[in-house]
Structure 1
Amino acid sequence: MLLLGVILTSLGTALAAVITSTTSQAIHGIGASGAWWPIDLYLYPESSRAEIARLLFDPDPGVGLTDYRYNLGGGGVGVTTFARAPETPYISDGVYNFSADPQGTYFLRAAAQYKVPLLTLFVNSAPTTMTSNSQNCGGTLLTDRIPAYAQYLADVIGYWHSQGIIFNFVSVMNEPDDTFGSCGQEGMQVTPSQRAQVVNTVAAALANANLPTKVIADESASVSNFVPEAPVWLPNVTQGALAGIAHHDYGFDSDVSLATLGATARTLSGGIYSWFTEICCWVEANAASANDPLATLTYGASYDPTMVSALRMGNLIWQSLTQAQDAHWDFWTALSSQYGSCTPSTNASCVNERNYDGWDDGLIYYDPDYASTHYYNVSLSKRFSVLKHFTQAIPVGAVRVNVSSVETSWRVLAFNSPDTGRLCSVVAMNAQNSASTLVLSGNEGLGAPSGAYLTDPGADYAPVELSLAANGSIVIHAPALSIYTVFF
């Protein structure tokens, strides 16, 4: 173990973070989605598939997701990308083939077997009989088919319930302003005037089937989509029909904008918290900030498996939980083949190097040419290890505790246990390219840490030793580009 001494007389210009006694929202899961990659990975050897499931769902040695988002396919009609066209069980209204989508359901079953705390079913497109162009992309959900769509979702969720797999949540639309007319993936438009009807009708169908699954919506792509449209649909949602107000942040919006989103969601819904349910694919807006984890970001190509991108993700989580006060956080796809110019089958070292023609859209990466190379190895980005800090520090139902007096290059989050109501963890990120010292203290005392873990450029969720100073504080001497989780 790496020993981190607590020597208060040599702190110099140490920075302070005070864990207050003021609490905020409860957090309901940290996850990622099973969109698309299962279509490829199902063709891998069984031993490789089992290892992927272990990496995703087992907290030791894996990331231990506390939410897994299963993508219910629409059938992929019209979609031009093989790996983005999941099968659907739907044959016609009330008629199903539940042996369809063995790719996605393999990993769904694995998540259930590993007892992932939360399972979410999400939809990009309804079946083709329910869209305006009879395809799974480029169309709009038909208003007169909303009842059939709701029954379809209830039937599918009911089937899995009968198999012992319980969906806690269903997301009934995805980025609904977009028809996804380019057809690179499934998608459908759901107009603002339709959204409350969809939510209410699905919630009623689930209740009529005595299913415990709750609805989340509307998965708007950005603040600029959500804020002006929320007044059209959110006040018309029936009380109790909506469990979370889901959104993405592909505008990579400011703290102020995200605070506005969260406040808008809570105000219009009567107190329902927003949920952050998808993000990926960031790159620095200014090339001069290429090595800055706190750089202003924009959407764009970049394959960056390093701590810089990982801490950018960590900062997005911090921003989501503290500014929007989101009650849930999901990365986009758990796995990706978007290595860009890196060819892992012939150059294994390139998986650790940044390029600007791949994408930061996965935690784990696999060879896109596996069918011809038979190269079934995968690589773990640093995002994998950094996300583990959050899945392990934030058990479902943990309550965020406000932190004050944090220097601008650190990001610190604290959480109370859902069981005891007492401080259970602190996540502290040194988002600088230099070493830094942080002193953690608490208004009510911290107590001795029960364990601590570090991820930095040379370590992946490695155990470290911290101790309590005589004055009740904990000192972290952090290397550059690092994240710690301290447990109590």
Structure 2
Amino acid sequence: MMGMGMLFYSCQSESKQTQPEAKPPKQLKIDVKQEDTYQTMAHFGASDAWSCQFVGLWPDSKKTAMAELLFSRDQDAQGHPKGIGLSLWRFNVGAGSAEQGDDSDIKDEWRRAESFLKADGNYDWSKQAGQVWFAQAAQELGVPNLLVFPNSPPVYMTKNGKAYANDGNPNLSEDRFDDFGNYLANVITGLEEKGLSVDYVSPVNEPQWDWSDAGQEGTPFLNSDIAGIVRSLDASLTASGLSTKIDIAEAGKINYLYENSDKPQRGSQIAAFFGDESEDFIGHLDHVGQAISGHSYFTTSPFTSAVQQRKNLQRAISEVDDLEFWMSEYCILGNNGGEINGSGKDLGIDPALYMARVIHNDLVIANASAWHWWLAISPYDYKDGLIYIDKNKEDGDFEDSKMLWALGNYSRFIRPGFQRKGVVLDGDELQSANFLVSAFSSPEADEMVYVIVNSGIDEVEAALAIDGETITAHQGYITSKEHELTPLVLEEETVVIPARSIVTVTVNQLPK
């Protein structure tokens, strides 16, 4: 159970202040203001780390079923969604710790990864076959975007010959930046020869952490290192004739994007990379996308702090013309102030509701135009997976979680190009932390999607409106203790939002 208070906040204006605890009304009007426009959505995604290297080699029927859960937008004969329709897939480009085996020092072989690059400088494109299978399945099932990301440069390039760092120092010398850029361009070219179009490459991951415990592949970097790597990568992509955009900088916490905090030379990354006067300015490079990415870890509780940090982030983002924020990785980590603990697998509604609150705050407060979960498929006893599997490299059982379907309440219906609109409840911009509403319009402005998160213990009867005019919902879907994106029959002028549920409602006939 989650212990967030019934706090109120404004999702439209920073002039509104947090209000005293109160319960949301049991009846209310949800009104979308079409002229109040915010970010245009890019994609919802998840990562193939670490298990897809093995699961992609499982029997066809099982891996195909898991791919359908993640990628499909089809329905079964009863109208139930077959999957959550992700719009981006993240491909982990391995550093070669798997080939090193126990000599990699990474004890959990599921956190090691193969490398396409061999010690002699040649490439073996038969590597990472399980991951390639999932990326191809994503493409075949209509996922429009593919992003590749290394956690570490190849072990043949690193300072210590390992896929983890020593003493919190960057594990790549400046004189190898060009080699690393050429390597990533070669990987993208190699994947494209397999029929995979790579839209984005993210060359560094959580550069604020030390990555020196050999728990997985990873390395820290200073902002100056990242700028140098991106300049080399940009040149390599241009030389290879690739259109792939560069995503930076996968900050370990969102506050590192707008302040140094406890990581000098690794924080204030918006100013570092997109400030015109910065020595590390790279926003002008051809392949650098007009977005900066960060992870929502350790910033989701308490609720008032989560809201404030996202307001701070959005304020900093807005100071750079046309810059977007991507929330590029999250799962439930740590104790979260006693609200929910990341330890222990839980397939139920509690973590799904917590996840939905995080998504809502990232989209509505931080104006994130992208939102990505961490492990699509997890073998761990942790709240880190959308799908859970036996930790077996060759075969096993799998099961879906409510977190999968909670993400689906967003990813399946809010497609790339949809734009977030303003929402008021009973004429007020304030929203209760236990009752959260966001709304998104299709690019053609012929469809409106409402996502409603009711974490409270009472059902709420909601009348839907657009610009004050009451409208009739076209279709609804619910995720709750009893349901997994189950279709709702909507025959009344109001929509009942059950207690402890996530409801998505689509409207196809909008007022003129």
Specify whether residues 47 and 423 from structure 1 end up closer, same or farther in structure 2 by C-alpha distance, changes over 3 A only. Answer: closer
Of 325, 332, 342, which residue of structure 2 is paired with 1:281? 332
- Please say if 1:398 is aligned against 2:418: yes
Aligned match of 2:391: 368
Give the counterpart letter for 2:377 in structure 1.
L
Say yes or no: does 1:381 pair with 2:395: no
Q: Distance in 2 between matches of 1:275 and 1:85?
A: 26
1:247 equivalent in alignment to 2:294: yes
Query: Where does residue 345 of structure 1 map in the other structure?
Result: none
Q: For 1:318 and 1:101, how far apart are their aligned partners in 2?
A: 34
Q: How far apart are 1:15 and its partner, in Å?
A: 2.3
Distance across 2 between alignment mates of 1:241 and 1:270: 17
For 1:266 and 1:162, locate their aligned partners in 2 and report how far apart those are by CA, in whole Å: 39
Q: How does 1:379-458 map to 2 (within 5 A)?
A: 379-405=399-425, 407-408=431-432, 409-418=434-443, 420-443=444-467, 445=469, 447-458=471-482
Superposition deviation, residue 467 in structure 1 = 4.4
Asked if 1:81 is matched to 2:104, the reply is no
> How much is the aligned-residue C-alpha RMSD, in angstroms?
2.2
Separation in 2, partners of 1:399, 1:468: 27
Query: How far apart, in 1, do the equivalents of 2:187 and 2:174 lie?
Result: 20
The alignment partner of 2:52 has SS state of helix
CA change 1:283–1:16 in 2 (3 A) is farther
| 2:243/2:287 contact within 8 Å kept | no
Aligned to 1:354: none
8 Å CA contact 2:455–2:499 kept in 1: the answer is yes
Change (3 A) 1:153 1:273: same
Whether 1:324 aligns to 2:366 is yes
> Quick one: which of 135, 142, 146 aligns to 2:173?
142
Once the 2 structures are TM-superposed, how far is the Cα of residue 468 of structure 1 from its aligned partner? 6.5
Preserved contact between residue 405 and residue 485 of structure 2 (Cα < 8 Å): yes
Q: Do the aligned partners of residues 201 and 154 (structure 1) sit closer, same or farther apart at CA in structure 2, a change above 3 Å counting? A: same
User: Is the CA contact 1:414–1:423 (under 8 Å) kept in the aligned structure 2?
Assistant: no
Tell me what 2:246 maps to.
Answer: 215
- Residues in 2 aligned to 1:477 and 1:334: alpha-carbon distance in whole angstroms: 31
Cross-structure match for 2:497: 478
Q: 1:198 aligns with which of 224, 229, 232?
A: 229
Asked whether the equivalents of residues 57 and 129 of structure 2 are also in contact (C-alpha less than 8 Å), the reply is no
Following the alignment from structure 1 to structure 2, what is the Cα–Cα distance between the partners of residues 154 and 285?
Answer: 39
1:62 maps to 83
Task: Return the letter of the residue paired with 2:357.
Answer: N
State the shift of 1:422 in Å.
4.0
The alpha carbon displacement at 1:370 in A equals 7.1
Using structure 2 for the length normalisation, give the TM-score: 0.81
Partner of residue 95 from structure 1, selected from 111, 122, 144? 122
Q: Partners of 1:446 and 1:147 in 2: how far apart?
A: 59
Q: Deviations over 1:146-185 (max 9, x none)?
A: 1111111111111222332101111111001223111111
Q: Greater CA deviation, 39-48 or 113-122?
A: 39-48
The code of the aligned residue for 1:360 comes to K
Deviations, residues 349-402 of structure 1 (Å, cap 9, x unaligned): xxxxxxxxx31000111122576xx6x221111011111111122111111111
Distance 1:282 1:91, change over 3 A: closer
Counterpart amino acid of residue 346 in structure 2: D
Query: 1:302/1:437 Cα in 2 relative to 1: closer, same or farther (>3 Å)?
Result: farther
Match of 2:30 in 1: 17
Q: SS at the partner of 2:156?
A: helix
Alignment length, in residue pairs? 440
Distance 1:226 1:456 in 2: 34
**Per the alignment, in what secondary structure is the counterpart of residue 502 of structure 2?**
strand
Counterparts of 2:298 and 2:119 in 1: how far apart (Å)? 38
Question: 1:93·1:152 contact (CA, 8 Å) conserved in 2?
Answer: no
- 1:93/1:148 contact within 8 Å kept: no
Q: TM-score, normalised by structure 1?
A: 0.85
The separation in 1 between residues aligned to 2:38 and 2:491, in whole angstroms, is: 27
The answer to whether the 8 Å contact 1:282/1:302 transfers is no
8 Å CA contact 1:123, 1:174 repeated in 2: yes
Indicate the residue corresponding to 2:272 in structure 1.
Answer: 232
- State the shift of 1:114 in Å: 1.6
Q: Against the structure 1 CA distance between its residues 272 and 93, is the aligned structure 2 distance closer, same or farther, given a 3 Å change threshold?
A: farther
Q: Secondary structure at 1:330's aligned position in 2?
A: strand
Confirm or deny: 8 A CA contact 1:200 1:241 kept in the other structure.
no
Once the two structures are TM-superposed, the CA of residue 93 in structure 1 deviates from its matched residue by 8.1
Say if 2:273 and 2:283, in contact at 8 Å, map to a contact too. no
Superposed displacement of residue 103, structure 1: 1.9
Q: Matched residues, percent identical?
A: 27
Q: 3-state SS of the aligned residue for 2:176?
A: helix
Between the aligned partners of 2:344 and 2:299, the Cα distance in structure 1 is 15
Q: 1:334 aligns with which of 352, 357, 376?
A: 376
Counterparts of 2:113 and 2:314 in 1: how far apart (Å)?
A: 32
Matched with 2:357 is: 315
Q: Is contact 1:449–1:487 with CA below 8 Å preserved after alignment?
A: yes
Cα distance in 2 for residues equivalent to 1:447 and 1:430: 21
Equivalent residue, structure 1, for 2:12 = none
* Structure 2 stretches lacking a partner, 5+ long: 1-24, 75-81, 261-266, 276-280, 301-305, 508-512
Q: Distance in 1 between matches of 2:460 and 2:333?
A: 26
Q: Distance in 1 between matches of 2:111 and 2:446?
A: 44
Higher helix share: 1
The equivalent position to 2:315 in structure 1, one of 256, 263, 271, is 263
Cα distance in 1 for residues equivalent to 2:331 and 2:234: 29
- Aligned residue for 2:423, secondary structure, equals strand
Q: Report deviation, 1:17.
A: 2.2
2:347 is the alignment partner of 1:305: yes
